[in-house]
Amino acid sequence: MTDTASTSVVRVQGLTVKVADKEIVSDVSFEIAGGEILGLVGQSGSGKTTVSMALLGYTRRGARLTDGAVEVAGVDVRALSAAQLRAFRGRRVTYVPQDPRASLNPALTVRRQLAEVLVSSPESLTKEQIENLILECLGSVGLPATREFARRYPHQLSGGQLQRVGIAMAIIDRPEVLVLDEPTTGLDVTTQRRILDLVRGLCTEYGIAGLYVTHDLSVIAEIADRVIVMHDGVIVEEGEVETVFEDPRDEYTRRLLRAAPDINAELPPRTAPEADAGRVLAVADLDAGYRRNQVLHDLTFELGRGECLAIVGESGSGKSTLSRAIIGLHPQYTGRILWQDRELPRRAARRSREMVKDLQYIFQSPFTALNPRMTVEESVGFAHRMAFHATAAQRRAAVRDAVERVHLPANVLTKLPGSLSGGERQRVAIARALVTEPSILVCDEVTASLDVLIQASIIDLLAELKREGGLSLLFVTHDLALVRSFADRVLVLERGRIVEIGETATVLRDPQAPYTQRLVGDALSIRQALEGRRTPAL
């Protein structure tokens, strides 16, 4: 274990942040040594993102850092001017956001954006050195180390590829401190493990101090040396990961651990839907792509009433293309998509009100799913208006009920998306889908940005709707632990082809396809990670 007292690169003492007269972070103190990774966990609104952004000298609009000291790489961050802060960020301390689109300029190529980081470096580099560093960095984060890939624009990349480019931008100039805010959210298990190994290796090799903010406790068990648990703006527990996770002292920590899904945990028996319940959706001989690039190849499967079919696979396997084709947002396909034995028009705009109401989609990114100029009540109400003829009073009641079902307070109704956290935005998107009372819900990584307690409550809600209302779900996700605890069947996509499909327990316990075996082997597990920590390296 690193001696943090003598080698700390980050020192935070008594950090207090207020919004108006309310303290949202109170008296937070910690240190991070060079080469060490500190995990910061807690549910949405716990203050963990506020704390992490303080290392960059940033507070969100309306917030004030009222007390405490923040020292990063020997620099008093609070004493820096605006110009000094701009030079400090991205060089001494870098940040990887939850949404990769927030760190990328859509008008610039990957190469240009990476090159701009290096050009601003105080070290003088030749054009050839810059080109070589760009390709080397792309390869190190699992992207094609080719000039062709470097010439692509963000809109030509998958969500997983965008996140890896964001990480590449953060590490290419070898900072002293790396702040990671849910950087593997939405990534498939194989890519996630690669990114975690990469971050761990970079911090160890170059002595980078890492602060890893996440709701995913299995990630912390895998990568962090120590962990801080925050609740309502204060630290309720801290210590080495093994100690906190194996013998938590605080009840809140115990709740988090109980709610966290684990692919190796024991599960109670689950009753699958009746075989004769009927099929509400069928996909037959589906081929889809983008211009000359074919993404999906000859997909055929069915979804039963009240069934949850999980769709898993690596980034670029075609999961999102499939779900967008089903919902009518990707009409470039051949084959048939049947809804209640009726073929769906390829474009959503040509579908009937009944079809739109009955087949709803929840987008992967909570940051781009909502109209930034519409309040929560307006966004959810608009969806209700598209599905039902109702009075204003009926609509308001339906909206309030939908928001309450996803465990959001009533005061959120008047807020704009910009004032909400990622988890809160995702719950609004879920409420917007549920307010139409659909019979089929296509969920594209809908729980990826939610903390484990909210995730558990949303899964419980969907399970209740499945059980009592016959809701059918296509559940696109990278989280195999969640799949194991929730889905009835699982469909595995590899490069746009179905390589395995069957009952969840069977597929995950005894995968037949080599690709599925690799996915299951790469899945993170709190139990497995802790056992690995107890086993000395050979």
Residue-wise pLDDT for 195-245, tens only, equals 888 889 888 988 999 999 998 999 999 999 999 999 999 999 999 999 999
Question: 163 vs 101, 171, 499, CA distance in Å?
Answer: 8, 13, 26
Per-residue pLDDT band for 269 (boundaries 50, 70, 90) equals: low
Express each pLDDT in 101-119 by its tens digit: 777 899 999 999 999 888 7
Token digits for 236? 């309720």
Per-residue pLDDT, averaged over 62-84, amounts to: 92
So what's the pLDDT on residue 367?
A: 73
- Which residues touch 87 (CB under 8 Å, ≥6 apart)? none
Better-scored residue on pLDDT, 102 or 317: 317
Q: How far is Cα 79 from Cα 90, in angstroms, rounded to an integer?
A: 18
CA proximity to 490, closest of 477, 466, 507: 507
Express each pLDDT in 412-464 by its tens digit: 999 999 888 777 888 899 999 999 999 999 998 888 777 888 888 888 888 88
Question: 344 vs 325, 328, 356, CA distance in Å?
Answer: 10, 8, 10
Per-residue pLDDT, averaged over 269-286, amounts to: 74
Better-scored residue on pLDDT, 92 or 310: 310
The mean predicted confidence, pLDDT, of the chain is: 89
- The secondary structure element, H or E, covering residue 69 is strand 63-72
Question: 122 vs 90, 103, 119, 169, CA distance in Å?
Answer: 12, 21, 8, 16
1 pLDDT exceeds 70?
no
Q: How far is Cα 468 from Cα 379, in angstroms, rounded to an integer?
A: 27
77 pLDDT exceeds 60?
yes
CA atoms within 13 A on the CB side of 529: 23
| pLDDT-above-90 percentage for the chain | 61
- The secondary structure element, H or E, covering residue 13 is strand 8-19
So what's the pLDDT on residue 422?
A: 74
Per-residue pLDDT, averaged over 132-143, amounts to: 88
Q: How far is Cα 278 from Cα 30, in angstroms, rounded to an integer?
A: 56
Express each pLDDT in 401-415 by its tens digit: 999 988 899 999 999
348 pLDDT exceeds 70?
yes
Express each pLDDT in 522-535 by its tens digit: 999 998 899 888 76
Can you tell me which residue has the tokens 């009533």? 410
476 pLDDT exceeds 70?
yes
Token digits for 4? 């943090």
251 pLDDT exceeds 90?
yes
CB 42 within 8 A of CB 232: no
4 pLDDT exceeds 60?
no
Per-residue pLDDT, averaged over 142-170, amounts to: 87
pTM for the full predicted model: 0.81
User: What does residue 169 show for φ and ψ, rounded to 5 degrees?
Assistant: -65, -35
Per-residue pLDDT band for 478 (boundaries 50, 70, 90) equals: confident
Per-residue pLDDT, averaged over 235-262, amounts to: 95
Per-residue pLDDT, averaged over 21-25, amounts to: 91
CB 27 within 8 A of CB 16: yes
So what's the pLDDT on residue 275?
A: 46
Per-residue pLDDT band for 282 (boundaries 50, 70, 90) equals: very high
Q: Which residue type is seen at 308?
A: C
So what's the pLDDT on residue 273?
A: 56
Strand ranges (E), 340-479:
342-343, 359-362, 440-444, 472-476
CB 502 within 8 A of CB 490: yes
Q: Which residue type is seen at 100?
A: P
Strands 497-503 and 342-343: unpaired
So what's the pLDDT on residue 303?
A: 97
Q: Which residue type is seen at 494?
A: E
Residue 215's DSSP bridge partners are none
CB 44 within 8 A of CB 450: yes
